[in-house]
Amino acid sequence: MNLLFVVSELAPYSKTGGLADVAAALPKALAATGVTVRVVTPRYGFMTAAGEYVGELRAPFGFQVQTARVFREARHGVETFFIDAPAYFHRGRKLYGEPDDPARFAFFSRSAIELARWFGEPPDVIHGNDWMTGLIPVYLRSALRGDPFFARVATVTSIHNLAFQGFFDLRDLPYFGLPGDLQRGPDGLEFGGAGSMLKGGILASDALTTVSERYAQEIQTPEYGFRMDALLRMRRHDLVGILNGVDYDEWNPATDAHLAARYTPADLSGKRLCKADLLKRFGMPVELDRPAIVIVSRLSDQKGLDLVRDVAWRILHAGAYFILLGAGDPRYEVFFQHLRDTAPRRVGVYFGLNEALAHQIEAGGDMFLMPSAYEPCGLNQIYSLKYGTVPIVRATGGLDDTIQDFDRVTGTGNGLKFRAYNANRLMEKIYEGLLLYRQPETWRALQRNGMQADFSWARAAWKYRAVYERVRAA
């Protein structure tokens, strides 16, 4: 089976969140099942070392034929192709948030299709991810309908976060190379007065996936459906929830090159050395028996940062360290900087993306906060399990699928979980974690429960392959 996997960010080359990690790990796991995988991603301006130049492709777009350079790299049994179009992708280090994002990623989608033609053999399946690739199945069903090269190509769209829907001006459809009659009607892209690229992907794809079983159910409800719940209920028989995995080649404290020391479930002594290293990095006193509560997150309301803000002073009053890595909403950056300035011996903050530091925080922390308002899957709670850093999460989406609340009587469970979106409920679980931390044998049992859990990609890869085989047969 030949698969074209199209994605707007790809670790370690470009990253704003978990999508990039998924894009790096899933194709590798699929290749291990025997799928021939080609990954397509933009070559952003800062990616000067990404791949070697292999040629040019031409794509009809913007009332003309535009040219892009193609770069290639092979690793882990997967070929990755980078589409280099400076007018669209050379914007400093910023991946998204430009006024012309719709045109940028419409061009990317059209180019990915032409890259498939460039290879000379059509793929069996094109798998797009989120709104940035939502127009791929739309192009195949409209502008390229009747093209014999793509006649038997099936499409899959994965929804990683339904909140981002790729809105654009419907008057731009001809500019994108799409017929104007796609504005409205049963196949129309109109959504709330604008066009939605994600709606196009939902309507036109042969199958839909999302990143956890719980999230697949949640997005069919008004509470979590972002006004697309009725559309998703209409396509419920084509919607599959597949829990994301983790690449343990990259995230494993027994082998992690970013850490000051390695450790395993059988020997956790190295974790204390990692904690000492982390505290030194943030210029805080090395008091190893003081619990460290940590966060690695995009700073947004979705991630429950309003709850964290409400309990932050209580965390300090309870005697814990607080360490945060993230970037996003300026309101939260201002607050957490103020927290750090007020209590520099107990608070550490780093605003931005820092892959090595993310690993060091996972290893050096004792508890990891992830009280999301909604969470399609989440990866950091799974990383935390492997690193023996007990996750404290809200029961939503993939957090609910991956974390089982610890039971002190039976010794079962791998983390701490609350349900109501409420700062007091979050603080109750933090207090529970602090109490357990002061019971060393119980705490080590909880850590080992998490470290021994298996969330590798192998199982998920076979589930994706089953989706591909189903749509290809249809």
pLDDT tens for 349-398 read 999 989 999 999 999 999 999 999 999 999 999 999 999 999 999 999 99
Per-residue confidence at 47, pLDDT binned at 50, 70, 90? very high
Average pLDDT, the chain: 97
Please check the confidence at residue 187 and state whether its pLDDT lies above 90.
no
Please check the confidence at residue 448 and state whether its pLDDT lies above 90.
yes
Please check the confidence at residue 46 and state whether its pLDDT lies above 90.
yes
Stretch 211-224: mean pLDDT: 97
Distance CA(234)–CA(256), nearest Å, equals 44
Name beta bridge partners: 59.
Answer: 66
pLDDT at position 186, please? 83
DSSP 267: B
Per-residue confidence at 49, pLDDT binned at 50, 70, 90? confident
The domain spans of the chain are 2-245+457-473, 269-451
Please check the confidence at residue 110 and state whether its pLDDT lies above 90.
yes
Stretch 47-54: mean pLDDT: 92
Please check the confidence at residue 48 and state whether its pLDDT lies above 90.
no
Distance CA(215)–CA(219), nearest Å, equals 6
pLDDT at position 107, please? 98
Residue whose pair of structure tokens reads 């008091």 in the numeric block: 287
Distance CA(304)–CA(302), nearest Å, equals 6
Name beta bridge partners: 196.
Answer: 167
Per-residue confidence at 185, pLDDT binned at 50, 70, 90? confident
Dihedral, CA atoms, 327, 328, 332, 334, nearest 10 degrees? 70
CATH code of domain 2-245+457-473: 3.40.50.2000
Distance CA(38)–CA(350), nearest Å, equals 35
Global confidence as pTM? 0.92
Q: Do domains 2-245+457-473 and 269-451 have the same CATH topology?
A: yes
pLDDT at position 17, please? 86
Contact between 133 and 8 under an 8 Å Cβ cutoff? The reply is yes
pLDDT at position 457, please? 95
pLDDT at position 10, please? 97
Distance CA(156)–CA(398), nearest Å, equals 20
φ, ψ for residue 281 (rounded to 5)? -60, -35
Contact between 12 and 24 under an 8 Å Cβ cutoff? The reply is yes
Per-residue confidence at 191, pLDDT binned at 50, 70, 90? very high
Stretch 77-98: mean pLDDT: 95
- Residues 6+ positions from 225 with CB-CB distance below 8 Å: 162, 218, 219, 232
Domain 269-451 has CATH 3.90.600.10: no
Residue percentage of the chain with pLDDT more than 70: 100
DSSP 311: H
Per-residue confidence at 227, pLDDT binned at 50, 70, 90? very high
Please check the confidence at residue 330 and state whether its pLDDT lies above 90.
yes
Helix pair angle (423-437, 440-451), 10° resolution: 110
Stretch 286-291: mean pLDDT: 98
Please check the confidence at residue 55 and state whether its pLDDT lies above 90.
yes
